[in-house]
Amino acid sequence: MTSKGNPEKTHPAAHAARFECNFRQAPKAFPHFWEHTVGSGHAPLALRADWQAQMLRCHNELGFKHVRFHALLSDEMGTLVCEENKLLYSFFNADQIIDFLLSIGMRPFVELSFMPEALASGSTTVFGYHANVTPPKDYDRWAMLIEKLLAHWVARYGAAEVRHWFFEVWNEPNLPAFWTGGQDGYFRLYSCTASAIKSVDDALDALKVGGPATANNKWIPDFLAYCRKNAAPVDFISTHHYPTDAFGTPGADTITQLQHAPRGVMRAQASTVREEAGDYPVYYTEWNLSSNPRDALHDEPFAAAFATKIVMDAHGLVQGYSFWTFSDIFSENYFPSVPFQGGFGLLNINGIAKPLYRAFELLHHLGNELFEVHGDHPTVDAWVVGKEKSATILLTNLAMPRHPIHTELVHLRISGAPTPRTAWIERIDEDHANPRGVWHTMGEPEYLSVIEVEQLARVSVLRKEPQPWTRKRENLEFDVSLPPQSVAAITIEFA
Catalytic center residues: 172, 286
Cα dihedral sign, 438-440-442-445: positive
Checking phi first, is residue 342 left (phi over 0); if not, alpha (psi -120 to 50) or beta? left
Concatenating the DSSP letter of every residue in 15-53 gives: G-EEEEEETTSPPEE---GGGSEEEEEEGGGGGSHHHHH
Q: In Å, what is the CA distance from 20 to each residue of 151, 269, 405, 421? A: 55, 28, 22, 21
**Run of H or E including 420:** strand 420-428
Q: Are strands 166-169 and 107-112 parallel, antiparallel or unpaired?
A: parallel
Q: Which residues contact 309 (CB under 8 A, 6 or more apart)?
A: 263, 381, 396, 398
Read off the amino acid at residue 416: G
Q: Exposure pattern of 369-380 as b/e (b: 16+ CB <10 Å)?
A: bbbebebeeebb
Read off the amino acid at residue 434: N
3-class DSSP state of 495: coil
C-alpha span between 150 and 365 (Å, rounded): 36
**383: which strand partners?**
394
The beta strand positions in 97-191, using DSSP E, are 107-112, 125-126, 131-132, 166-169
Q: In Å, what is the CA distance from 437 to each residue of 384, 407, 456? A: 30, 19, 10
C-alpha span between 223 and 108 (Å, rounded): 24
CA–centroid distance for 64 within its chain: 10
Task: Calculate the CA dihedral of residues 392, 436, 326, 344 and round it to 10 degrees.
Answer: 120
3-class DSSP state of 189: helix
C-alpha span between 187 and 483 (Å, rounded): 48
Half-sphere exposure of 257 (CA within 13 A, CB side): 19
CA–centroid distance for 168 within its chain: 16
Nearest one of 373, 384, 320, 325 to 349, comparing CA atoms: 325
CA–centroid distance for 335 within its chain: 21
